[in-house]
Structure formats: structure tokens, C-alpha cells
Chain A
């Protein structure tokens, strides 16, 4: 079986799962929606105040929603045995993981990318900021999934995996958070977001190059 065939098979399986189990992408979306709705209760509903925290709330909400889907990456597969098939494949494991992460980025990311601008309006943010936020979330979701795949792969069989994954992954998402939210803030204050956006994209490319390799090494360690 060629590598292309194998990766498309892996990605197609992911999409089929998304189509048949709608909760897989609907629950992270609901989580995001609810988290974003909680903040006005805590800080007050004046639009001036909401505008200042909106970018941060939406960005962190999207990161947390994505984080919660990480156990889905390998845990279920380990339980139903499909992880063994993945591991025993002749194709390079890193590429197969990349295919899964790519499919997951679409499945989880697309609803969040659509919801992010919607919530920008609830936080009294102007339309151009909303678009920039959607773009920032679109870069941040695959970045987090790539970095998170390493931790998820390490913790397939470990105790307290979900919470430990968060502890390991969240500090590593700080660059994408800084630059992604920074780009939207730049637009909010009427400046050019190009520098922040480029750096955020650069971090994604960096993760794209290295983390599938690290994740495959991690998977081999934890399933050894």
C-alpha cells in the first residue's frame, strides 16, 4: 500500500467518524460556545469592557476546546485496536499521524473558525477583527493539535492522561496564543497584523515539520 493511499485512508476514516458521530465535533463547539458565554457574567456586560477581553476570551476558549479533543486522537484507537493497525503499518508512522491531525484540524477547527467571528460580535468587536480572529484560530487549532499529538501519544496508557496532557501542552501553545491574539488586537487598534500573523504561521510550520516525528517517537515509547 502506498503512502498516499494509507494517509488518505486514515484521513477518510477520520471524516467518516465525524460524519457518523456528530458529537465528536459538536461537543467541542458547544464547549467553546458555553465558555465564551460565561465571561460576561463574571466581568460585566459593558461593551467597552467586553471589547477589551473579547479577543483573549475567544482565543483561549478555542484553544481549550481543541485541547479537550486530544484524547480522541489515540485513546479510543488504543481501546478498539485500530492503533495497533496504525503501528503495524509499513508506512512511516509520522505521516499517518500527520494525516490524522490534518483531518482532525478540519473536523474540530472548521466549526470553531465559523463560531469565532460570531462570538466576536457578541463581544462588540468590529468585523475586521472578527475575520482576523477566525484566521488566527484557523492557524492555532492545527498548531495545538500538532503539539498536543506528542503529549497525547505519550499518555495513551498513562494514569490521569487528560489533565496531564493539558499541563504539558498548554505552556507550549503560548507562542501561537501571543501571536494569534496579538494579530487580532493589532487590527482592533488599527495597526497592521502582518508581523504577528507571519510569526504565528511560522510556528505552525515549525510544528508541522517536527511534531509528527516527535509524536511517532512518542507513540512507539508508550505502546512499547
Chain B
């Protein structure tokens, strides 16, 4: 036992970044990333919203209401990206057995779920004046709803075990199962129905005015920074909670 521990320690000392797989070592780093991300999120949001609300022109067809796009689209993107990130950390945790990876997954899940809700909510508010209804069973709305269900399942599963380690690995597995299925679900829902306006942002050929696009991209980075900050905050809380019995936490909170 002592020997294997020694071996694994050697393995982890081999490269500098392994050091940060330890919750104790990553805790202060997470704090710095969190502060930086909050600042970045605030600045980018102010700039992005200013350009989006005051500089970008009114839409020819939809009038002012289209401006919800600066919230709606970044939230929808983040909901998808966070699921991938969550599955990535889940896989890392399962393969390497690193506690921090599972905590990272858990820290991301609520933010991803919130992003899905924001996307659906703003989509409903946008749909009412433009489509005349809060909800249509269109492919992208429906897939976002299903994505939200997958987040909820992950969060509920992680909370269902008294044994934290078991909950970590169980929810990691379900995150992977979900990640494998997400493309299939997207494809099948697309097959089932498409009525949504075509995607307005494509690499190379964008149908949006460039100032609108600028505002939207800035807002996307703002959302990204917010998600990182929120996840880091949650991660730090979790580290403290789970490592409550260790010496360094006791010294930290003393």
C-alpha cells in the first residue's frame, strides 16, 4: 500500500500541473481565477450590453425586441459548452481518479442548467412578440429543453448517494452517457421538426450586421467569464466542504 502511494506520488510529481490535481493546491489558484473572471465578466458585459443596446441598429423586421439575442444566444451556447466541459471533467475523473475533476463536474452542472433555463426563458420572451407564442416545439428549443433535463438528471443523481465517492463516479458515468447521446438527440429532434429561424452565425458567412455580431461575441465572452467565475466559486465551496476534516482547511477557516 505504502509503495503504491509512493509510486503514485512520484507520478504526480513528474509534471508541474499534476500538483494542481490536489484540491489543496488548486484552492488558491481557483480563487485567483475566480476574481479575474468576475472582473472580466463585469467589464465585458458592460461593454457588450452598451454596444448591443445603444450602438447596434434596430432590426428591420423585429424592431427593438431582437436585442434579447445578446442574452439568449450566449446563454444557449454556454448551456451546450458547459455540458461538454462537464463530461470532459467527468471522463478525466473516471480515468485518473482525481477528486478535483469530479468536483469540477459538479461545480459546472448548476451553471449549465441555469444557462439552459436563461436560454429557454429569453427565447419564450422573444417568441411571444415575433412568433406570437411563448413556446413552439421547434428543434432548437426542444433540444435545449432536453439538455436541461440531462443537467437535472446529473444533479439529482449526484445528490442521491450518501457516499460522496460513489455519487462522483455514478454521476460522471451518466454525464458521459448523456454526452454520447446529445448529438443523437439533437439529430433526431432536428429530423422531427425545424421551424426556427436559420442559424444567423456561421463561420465565414454571417448574415448579421457586423456591429451586432461584435456585441454578441463580446456578450458570449462575458457569459463565458461569468460561468468560469461561478464554477470556480462553487468549486472552492465544495473543496472546503469535502476537505473539512483536513489540517489545511482547519487552518484556513480558523
Listed in ascending order, the chain A residues whose CB lies under 8 Å from chain B are 147, 150-151, 154-155, 158-161, 164, 167-168, 170-172, 174-175, 178-179, 182, 199, 203, 206, 210, 214, 217-218, 221-222, 224
For the complex, count residues of B whose C-beta is within 8 A of A: 27
Q: Is B166 in contact with chain A by the CB < 8 A criterion?
A: yes
Main secondary structure of the interface of B (DSSP, over half): helix
Q: Is B227 in contact with chain A by the CB < 8 A criterion?
A: no
Please count the residue pairs between chain A and chain B whose beta carbons lie under 8 angstroms apart in the complex: 79
The smallest C-beta distance from A55 to any residue of chain B, in angstroms, reads: 14
The complex places the Cα of A48 from the Cα of B160 at a distance, in Å, of 45
Q: Which of A154, A174, A182 contacts B170 (CB 8 A)?
A: A154
B157 near A154 with CB under 8 A, answer: yes
Set of chain B residues within 8 Å of A158, measured between Cβ atoms? 157, 160-161, 170
Set of chain B residues within 8 Å of A172, measured between Cβ atoms? 177-178, 181, 185
Q: Which of A167, A175, A210, A217 contacts B153 (CB 8 A)?
A: A167
The complex places the Cα of A154 from the Cα of B172 at a distance, in Å, of 11
Check A206/B184 contact, CB under 8 A, given A167-B149, A167-B152.
yes
A178 near B160 with CB under 8 A, answer: no
A178 near B191 with CB under 8 A, answer: yes
Main secondary structure of the interface of A (DSSP, over half): helix
The complex places the Cα of A214 from the Cα of B169 at a distance, in Å, of 12
Q: Is B85 in contact with chain A by the CB < 8 A criterion?
A: no
Q: Is B17 in contact with chain A by the CB < 8 A criterion?
A: no
B170's nearest neighbour on chain A, judged by CB, is: A154
Check A221/B157 contact, CB under 8 A, given A171-B185, A172-B177, A175-B185.
no
B192's nearest neighbour on chain A, judged by CB, is: A178
Set of chain B residues within 8 Å of A199, measured between Cβ atoms? 188, 191
The smallest C-beta distance from A221 to any residue of chain B, in angstroms, reads: 5
B170 near A218 with CB under 8 A, answer: yes
A160 near B160 with CB under 8 A, answer: yes
Query: Could you pull out 5 A-B pairs where Cβ atoms are within 8 angstroms?
Result: A151-B174, A158-B170, A159-B160, A172-B185, A222-B166
Set of chain B residues within 8 Å of A217, measured between Cβ atoms? 173
Check A150/B177 contact, CB under 8 A, given A159-B160, A167-B149.
yes
A154's nearest neighbour on chain B, judged by CB, is: B170
B180 near A210 with CB under 8 A, answer: yes
The complex places the Cα of A178 from the Cα of B192 at a distance, in Å, of 7
A214 near B173 with CB under 8 A, answer: yes
The complex places the Cα of A206 from the Cα of B183 at a distance, in Å, of 13
The complex places the Cα of A155 from the Cα of B160 at a distance, in Å, of 8
Q: Is B117 in contact with chain A by the CB < 8 A criterion?
A: no
B146 near A174 with CB under 8 A, answer: yes
The smallest C-beta distance from A117 to any residue of chain B, in angstroms, reads: 24
Set of chain A residues within 8 Å of B184, measured between Cβ atoms? 175, 203, 206
B190's nearest neighbour on chain A, judged by CB, is: A178
B185 near A167 with CB under 8 A, answer: no
The complex places the Cα of A171 from the Cα of B160 at a distance, in Å, of 19
A169's nearest neighbour on chain B, judged by CB, is: B153
Set of chain B residues within 8 Å of A206, measured between Cβ atoms? 184
What is the 8 Å Cβ interface bit string for chain B, positions 180-219, against chain A (1 contact, 0 not)? Answer: 1100110111011000000000000000000000000000
B147's nearest neighbour on chain A, judged by CB, is: A171
Set of chain A residues within 8 Å of B192, measured between Cβ atoms? 178, 182
The complex places the Cα of A154 from the Cα of B158 at a distance, in Å, of 11
The complex places the Cα of A172 from the Cα of B189 at a distance, in Å, of 12
The complex places the Cα of A210 from the Cα of B181 at a distance, in Å, of 11
Which B residues between 26 and 56 are near A, CB-CB below 8 angstroms?
none
B173 near A171 with CB under 8 A, answer: no
A221 near B169 with CB under 8 A, answer: yes
Set of chain A residues within 8 Å of B185, measured between Cβ atoms? 171-172, 174-175
A150 near B174 with CB under 8 A, answer: yes
